[in-house]
Structure 1
Amino acid sequence: MSAVPYDRFRAVFAELAAGAAQRDRSGEHPYALVAELVAAGFGRLRVPTEYGGYDADLPTLFGLLAEAGAADSNVPQILRGHFTTTEILRRERDRAVRDRWFSAVGEGAVFGNAQSEPSALAVDPATATRIHRGPGGRAVVSGTKFYSTGARFADYLRAAAVDETGRKVFVVLPARHEGVEHVDDWAGIGQRQTGSGTTILTSVPVEDDGQIGRELDSLRGLDSFVQIVHLANLTGIARNLVAETVEVVRGRTRTSRHALSESAAQDPDVLAVIGRLQARRVTAETLLEHAARRLEEAHARDDESYFAATYVETSTAQIAVIEAVLHAASEAFDAGGSSTVRTGVNLDRHWRNARTLASHNPVIYKPRVVGDHLVNEVLPVSGYYGQFAGPVERTAS
């Protein structure tokens, strides 16, 4: 691992933090600041040094994503598809594919996500997007993608499509091709500036050396990886929540008639709220570090059963982190009274953003996954393996 430029990254994080609340209110996307962060080398964190990257380990990556999430929780999600792509490339066996795309990322290219579809069935989420032949016999892709997070910020898209043999594959598409239409229609209650809208693909050419992750081995650990990105983001939200609530208490001039002190900063009940928020922040930080180190160890062991067991550990962390951060995001209002519900304070964005992140990879299923493993020794099957293991059934046209 080469020296990571923490100071450069943190300078951009400070810029992101300064305007995050206002962007949430106005709906402005942080295009320029994300570009500045990429220019500082952030997108190269997991790229091997021979391609101009830092070859950072997973604890370093997730630690920095937590810092980015504390500054603006949209940023780790914007770059989630990018870092997922670099994870696939780290295990890519095709040297030409690996060289092409690691070199591109090393020179500053950013990947966006184009995997899910709005009307997809859970068992076959890429049926509608197809690879077909365009002019001159070149492979092109047509279809519609939803939850295409980061696509509006990207140079290339990692798109899931079904090839002419009926197999689901990942292909690289130019994000700014004339056949790509980015629709800014994400209408979630939180994570509003992530570019997570619809992407319409019309005969978009597949890049040369543009099929990645063809071997299932290159997808190992991805289920855990994509979830830990969310855990890092939630941890960042918890940090920001504590800092902003502390500032609310310090600036508060009114107290309740039942308060034991005339100063909010000296009120035992208010101070106890801050203490509980901090405890939940530390819970999130500790579980994030545990999950990151566990996945790093899984890659070192490179054993399928250990990857599956790591997913159980990640799911366990997911349950506890989501519970801790959502509870903290709700309880924070107790520290400031009615003044904290004003739109100008915008404290509610932390709950909205955390709730939105918690709804991805739905946590409702994870206690059962963990319990089934502990009681019945059942290891979960990777969702990526299930989707990419073989041909999908074609629907009648």
Structure 2
Amino acid sequence: MIALSTSRLAGLRERFAPHFQAIADGAADRDRTGELPYREVADLAAAGFGAIRVPESHGGAGATLPELFELLTDLAAADSNIAQALRAHFAFVEDRLVAAPGPGRDTWLARFASGELVGNSWTEVGPVTVGEVITKVSPDGSGGFTITGAKYYSTGSIFADWLDTYAQRTDTGTRVIAAVSRHQPGVELAEDWDGFGQRTTGTGTSTFTGAAVEELIEFDTRFKYQTAFYQQVLLAVLAGSAKAAEREFAAQLAARKRTFSHAAANIAGQDPQLLQVIGEVSAAAFAAAATVERVSHALQGAYESAISLHSGGSIQEDEAANDAAELASAQGQVVLTPLVLTALTHAFDALAASATSVSKNLDRHWRNARTAGNHNPWVFKARLIGDLAVNGTQLPRVWAIGASK
């Protein structure tokens, strides 16, 4: 199995380091003011970040999944909002990478290489029942299709050129992914997400009113490890949040001038109890990064298995590889969510009341991790992992949200 190319990863890190540093420099202020990172996302896209998984033969960097998620963790350490905002983009790229070779696939790879980005529009608005799709795609009478409906949690769409939209055809009832250009009158995007964390992911409502559809992709043909992939982006967000907290809390402790009469040292930065706290946060960040790496290898196995099917690969081996990826991402989620949140809470113990200052905005790391951790609730995943261990029941790879019937 392909793992990390040390030289390629080092080169990519060097290439994007200035962008990540610029992003990190403004992250706290953007979180405080709610300013969306339009320029930062555009700069990343122009620098080729959205094409790092695209083969070199098609203008990309040809990175493996372990390399992608190392870089996404680095980006999340700079600003976890931007890493999450690109979640849908990299998932759509992955789907096109495993699609059958041909002109359609090449067109999308060329778009990615030119810096075009994809956003997400999957979750239905309102009291829909589980599995119901009320966003509809209809024939337009001239060989094309239009789409009408509304979606929420459209993370990253406001920065994107294309919208990866889950819908249902009115003529056949088939569930599809509609690729829709956001640059048209029939598409309206609102940044109306009101969560206390991940405030600048550009999340909100997407409304489609007879918008033209560029391409329809049958949902059942979508890459099988998609749920594991989406979850892995959130794991990278958690790992990056822990890494950022280690960096910023350590810097605050090093710069601290005041201490207490009953402290264990006269200088806060030399106090063994406070150093222990930072050490424990650092260890949690290490464990989080290691978990992301382990899940990445499972995803890489699923990718390679999917590619092998184009040349007669084993369906049974492909199923096993996808089950392994789903299990790895679920186990990572169950471990990392409480680990990172506990570490970020504990980080405040290294400082005093001034750590809660709004001007420092250190609480954004906890808020962002708590918000990312609330996606796809891990408590359900823990139960499913137990069901596999005890009863041999494989985890579901696709699931839906809505009201009960």
State the Cα distance separating 1:301 from its structure 2 match. 3.8
1:97 counterpart residue number: 104
Contact 1:134–1:203 (Cα < 8 Å) also in 2: no
For residues 219 and 150 of structure 2, what CA distance do their matches in structure 1 show? 25
Inter-partner Cα distance in structure 1 for 2:66 and 2:257: 41
Displacement of 1:215: 6.7
Alpha-carbon distance between aligned partners in 1 of 2:84 and 2:225, rounded to the nearest angstrom: 18
Aligned to 1:47: 54
Query: Does residue 35 of the first structure (1) align with residue 42 of the second (2)?
Result: yes
TM-score (norm 1): 0.92
Deviation of 1:116 after TM superposition, in Å, equals 1.0
Structure 1 stretches (4+) deviating beyond 4 angstroms? 1-4
Contact 1:74 1:191 in 2 (8 A): yes
Shift of 1:108: 1.3
- The 3 A distance-change label for structure 1 pair 211 and 94 is farther
Superposition pairs of residues 300-315 of structure 1, within 5 angstroms: 300-302=304-306, 303-315=318-330
Alpha-carbon distance, 1:138 to partner: 3.2
- Aligned counterpart, 1:61: 68
- How far residue 180 of structure 1 moved from its aligned partner, in angstroms, is 0.8
Residues 211-252 of structure 1, C-alpha deviations (whole Å, 9 max, x = no match) = 23x373542111111111111111111111000000111111
In the alignment, the residues of structure 1 paired with residue 129 and residue 198 of structure 2 have an alpha-carbon distance, to the nearest angstrom, of 23
Amino acid at match of 1:341: T
Does residue 1:173 correspond to 2:180, yes or no?
yes
Is the contact between residue 309 and residue 379 of structure 1 (CA under 8 Å) also seen in structure 2? no
Secondary structure of 1:219's partner? coil
- 1:44-70 CA distance string (max 9 Å, x none): 011122221122100000000000000
Residue 303 of structure 2 aligns to which amino acid in structure 1?
A: H
Structure 2, unaligned runs of 5 or more: 307-317
Task: Note if contact 2:154-2:203 (Cα within 8 Å) is conserved in structure 1.
Answer: yes
Q: 2:296 aligns with which of 292, 295, 300?
A: 292
Question: What's 1:130 paired with?
Answer: 136
Query: Unaligned stretches of 5+ in structure 1?
Result: 388-394
TM-score (norm 2): 0.90
Number of equivalences: 383
For residues 312 and 69 of structure 1, the distance between their equivalents in structure 2, rounded to whole angstroms, comes to 23
Distance 1:238 1:44 in 2: 26
| Amino acid corresponding to residue 247 of structure 1 in structure 2 | A
Task: Give the 5 Å matches for 1:228-247.
Answer: 228-247=232-251
Is 1:139 aligned to residue 145 of structure 2?
yes
From the superposition, tell whether residues 183 and 215 of structure 1 become closer, same or farther in structure 2 (CA, over 3 Å): closer
> Which of these residues, 341, 345, 362, is aligned with residue 347 of structure 1?
362
Percentage of identical aligned residues = 38
SS in 1 for 2:123: coil
Instruction: Pick one of 12, 15, 20 that aligns with 1:8.
Output: 15
- The Cα of 1:85 is off from its aligned counterpart by 0.2
2:392 alignment partner in structure 1: 377
TM-superposed CA distance for 1:136, in Å, is 4.2
Within 1, Cα distance between the matches of 2:186 and 2:90?
25
Match of residue 333, structure 2, among 290, 300, 318: 318
Matched, 1:151 2:157: yes
**Cα–Cα, structure 1 residues 301 and 199, in superposed 2: closer, same or farther, change >3 Å?**
closer
SS at the partner of 1:158?
A: strand
In the superposition, relative to structure 1, how do residues 180 and 301 fare at CA in structure 2: closer, same or farther (>3 Å)? closer
In structure 1, how many angstroms separate the alpha carbons of the residues matched to 2:221 and 2:300?
Answer: 16
**Could you tell me how far apart the structure 2 residues matched to 1:308 and 1:376 are?**
15
Asked if the contact 1:186–1:197 (Cα under 8 Å) also holds between the matched residues in 2, the reply is: yes
Give the alignment's Cα RMSD to 1 decimal.
1.9
Whether the aligned pair in 1 keeps the contact of 2:177 and 2:219 (CA below 8 Å) is no
Within-5 A mapping of 1:354-373: 354-373=369-388
Query: In the alignment, what sits opposite 1:327?
Result: 342
2:80 partner letter: S
- Alpha carbons 2:298, 2:324 under 8 Å: kept: no
In structure 2, the CA distance between the partners of 1:5 and 1:122, relative to structure 1 (3 Å rule), is: farther
